[in-house]
Structure 1
Amino acid sequence: MIPNIVGQAQLEVRVGYFGICMNPDGGGFLCSNNATLLAQQVSVDQDPLNLIWVAETFKNSVVFPYLIIVAIVLAFVTFLLLATFPGWHEEHDARTGSDIDIKPFPSRPVSQVALALIFIASIFVLVSVLWQHTASVAAAQIAQDFGNGSVRSGVGTSAMVLGWFGFALLIVVTIGLLVMILSIHLLDKLTDD
């Protein structure tokens, strides 16, 4: 029955964080953050299953970019905190009489705040990417099953790769800061003894 309703329609709909793109006739994509405007651009014969509204519902109910936005802000603040770390400078050694290059340790509170911020950012990205991945796969499968073979759906590979790659980079930064803080703490202990 659904194939009879669909007929020869070949509508492609893509959902992003801030909008929907559709390709009704195999030409270029029309994109908007308003599904009503997109729906007005196609006839009923081009979208017999109302996929534009299904995509709008998916975008509003499942796609949630705000955790990633907060994580980006936290990572940027961490970057600014890392920029406050002291650099190399020369000092005169009284024992030898020569100039030596010294790199002082960064402030412990600044290091700990940077670690806390990047850790929170990592958790936010993990939750967001895991949520998006799971929900997108489930919604794609439901849409495909609902269409009874007339609807093909999938999850964008590049979006998933970018999400997981971003999470991996944040974890690398988190581990790097943790190792740096623990190393400085160990060096302080060794020099105090």
Structure 2
Amino acid sequence: MEAPNQKTSTEITAEEKAKSTKNRPSIEPEISPETGTHKEWNAMAMETSKKHIKNKELQRKALELRTLGLSFQQIADQLSVSKSVAYRAVTKALGEIEEETRHMAKLNKTLDLQRLDWIIREAMKLALKGDLQAMDRIMKAIDQRAKIYGFEAPKKIAHTTPDGEELASQGIVVVPSPMDLEQWLTQYQPKDEA
């Protein structure tokens, strides 16, 4: 049996609900003189968004003009901005394209490696049964994977002295025809400085 003063959950009034939520922390941001009102904050966000869109449009137009071969001064004149703004717009647009290209290349590299792993895994099933063509496909896939990882990248080899110091490049020497090699060497061989 219920106590006479106790209410069921369906009998809780709106006033009691308001009292119970009064002590809960608010999820609304506090408004202070420094931050302004919600309306002001929304206006600032909209303004920032408009500037961002305007900058993106400027970058797009500037890059399009640069692609057509215009100088930075010509771009500035056409877009009614300074030369430095035109330059920054083009370089920013190119930087974003470069970053996107780098990101896409990384994704494609990962995808290609996944494909090669799948090829190796499927060909391995046949190779274990003695299929020579499958073994050949595995070797080609392994070679391709090594190229993607850069394991077979060319290495720089510098000509050095026995002491490990790099030699200056020698270039090409053309020997004049009226002279034989012995005469030319005695005449043009560098003299030792003693």
Q: TM-score range by the shorter chain?
A: under 0.3
Normalising by the residue count of structure 1, what TM-score does the alignment of the two structures yield? 0.27
Normalising by the residue count of structure 2, what TM-score does the alignment of the two structures yield? 0.27
Q: Answer with 1 or 2: which has the greater Rg.
A: 2
Return the structure number with greater strand share.
1
Higher relative contact order (CA 8 A, sep 6+): 1
